[in-house]
Amino acid sequence: MRYKLLGKSGLRVSELCLGTMTFGETWGWGASLDESEKIFRRFSEAGGNFIDTSCNYTEGTSETFLGEFLGANRDSFVVATKYTLTKTTSTDPNSGGNSRKNMMRSVESSLRRLRTDYLDILYLHVWDYMTPVDEVLRGLDDLVRQGKTAYIAVSDTPAYIVAQANMLAELRGWAAFIGLQAPYSLNRRDIERELLPMAKHWGMGVMPWGVIGGGVLTGKYDETDDESPKRYDPARMTVRERTRAIIDAVKAVSEETGHSRAQVAINWVRQQQHQAQIVPIIGARTVAQLEDNLGVLAWTLTDAQLQRLSEASAIDLGFPHDFTPGNPYIYGATYDLIDKRP
């Protein structure tokens, strides 16, 4: 495992991040306490120090497990958790969302479950489209000043909100976001339109989740005899024609390289460093799955293989990406706007 400075910070994180949404069986498809600990220990043995969780993962079980595993070695790990979401059974209107009230309550609860007095990174988990940006930023800055989190980051939030937040932080001397989480995979490349360029502009590290498409890219949902627990119900899955073409491309590269389809999908994301600083989040329900994921550290896709996979999964970036000097599309687009009547 190699290390890098995360975004515009001095924080050293491993080149892969361990996602712990699978820690706990509360949601019906996760790992037991014993298996979760094995996954955590194996990631640590491989040199991984970057751990990702959330206040709501498996209804808090993920943080509880992680707090037990960290133990006396807590300071050796970069622990990131999130606030925003809460139990769906809650009847308290302030128990979720981005408000300062929920932020402070969530952080105190997370600290107790994690058995620590500080977080390394606190994420805003999901933008709620209600809370003022300055309320969020001031609250997060207070937590940094109180020493309850060393850094702040943002997840699943529009680019314009993140940009506004970082500018507010810069103008007012508040802590700014050093990282961004968003879904990114061969079959989900839409963050290339706005989020990745924005993150690169602000010098933010990007932690993609869903890098194997929830197992879709590995062909997991095509295996009708596979009875293992799945995050999604196969009976309700519809794999689009475009996605099947991507799956076929992944399979072809997998056979060509002798590496698993999961490794092919992860490495494609891992090698998108020209888009922004990328630190993929890998998740596993078993140690065997983690071992396979860690295999990406030993090899990389060739330029030709990257190109084949990128072409198979290409999306239309649209305006303003296609509106550049010398791009033939400009002339066609401009012509379409001309009134052709005599």
Position 189 in a domain: yes
Strands 17-19 and 149-155: unpaired
pLDDT digits (tens, 9 = 90+) for 52-61: 999 999 999 9
Quickly count: other Cβ atoms within 10 Å of residue 113's Cβ.
19
The pLDDT score that the predictor gives to residue 230 is 59
Domain count, the chain: 1
The pLDDT score that the predictor gives to residue 328 is 52
Position 324 in a domain: no
pLDDT digits (tens, 9 = 90+) for 224-271: 545 665 555 666 667 788 999 999 999 999 999 999 999 999 999 999
Nearest 5°: CA angle at 252, between 254 and 228?
60
Residue 255 token pair: 């056979």
The pLDDT score that the predictor gives to residue 87 is 77
Domain containing residue 158: CATH number: 3.20.20.100
Contact 277, 201 (CB under 8 A): no
Position 30 in a domain: yes
Q: Spot the catalytic one: 3, 57, 118, 331.
A: 57
Q: Which of 162, 14, 166, 168 is nearest to 78 (CA)?
A: 14
Q: Is 57 a catalytic residue?
A: yes
pLDDT band at 223 (very low <50, low <70, confident <90, very high): low
User: What mean pLDDT is predicted for residues 210-223?
Assistant: 86
What is the percent of the chain with per-residue pLDDT over 70, rounded to a whole number? Answer: 90
Residue 143 token pair: 């937590």
313-330: burial string, b at 16+ Cβ within 10 Å, e else:
beeeeeeeeeeeeeeeee
The pLDDT score that the predictor gives to residue 227 is 60
Position 121 in a domain: yes
Position 329 in a domain: no
pLDDT band at 322 (very low <50, low <70, confident <90, very high): confident
User: What mean pLDDT is predicted for residues 157-166?
Assistant: 98
Position 205 in a domain: yes
User: What mean pLDDT is predicted for residues 325-336?
Assistant: 51
Position 124 in a domain: yes
Position 328 in a domain: no
Which structural domain, as residue segments, surrounds residue 287? 3-315
